[in-house]
Amino acid sequence: MNGQNLIDSAEKNLERQLEWIARYDARVSFIAGVSIAMIAYLASVAGEVVVWNNVIALDFFVSGLFLFASLLCIYFGQYPKTNSCNSSLIYFNTIADMTCENFKKQFKNLSETDYLDDLLAQTHNNSLIISKKFTFLKTALILLLISVLPWALTIFMVKTAN
């Protein structure tokens, strides 16, 4: 591949990395919505409990714990990772640390090789960030799924106890 073809390929690869972030965001909003709805419903039925016993209290605690842990994973996945692995002229956070004039000067003096290296470094950096995001997403989904049984059991016990 020649220099321009490599740059085009690297730019497309970086665009694909950014598309994965959009996929993550779509999935995380579903998990967050379900978790919050389950917590809200759990809170609403807590007021219906006439007599608390150890089993109901334990089920409330366990389901709430897993649901809150799911939301915590979502938080850690959503928390912005703004560090760059290099002094990038592509990445917003390193550009923001420069003056406008300094950025323009450095960008105009950038060679094809330096630009390609920056693209590849940012693609790698984004891959690390996306990998962590999806690890937290998978964990949040597992915790949400685990919470369903104690949550449903809690709802059942509260509704049948009254």
**DSSP string for residues in 54-95:** HHHHHHHHHHHHHHHHHHHHHHHHHS-----SS--SSSHHHH
Expressed as residue numbers, the domain containing 139 is 3-161
Residue 81: its pLDDT value, please? 81
pLDDT in tens for each of the 162 residues of the chain?
677 888 889 899 889 988 888 889 889 999 999 999 999 999 999 888 888 889 989 999 999 999 999 999 999 999 888 777 778 888 888 999 999 999 999 999 999 999 999 999 999 988 999 999 999 999 999 999 999 999 999 999 988 876
CA 143 to mean position of chain CA atoms: 15
Task: Please give the Cα distance from 148 to 145 (Å, whole number).
Answer: 5
Domain count, the chain: 1
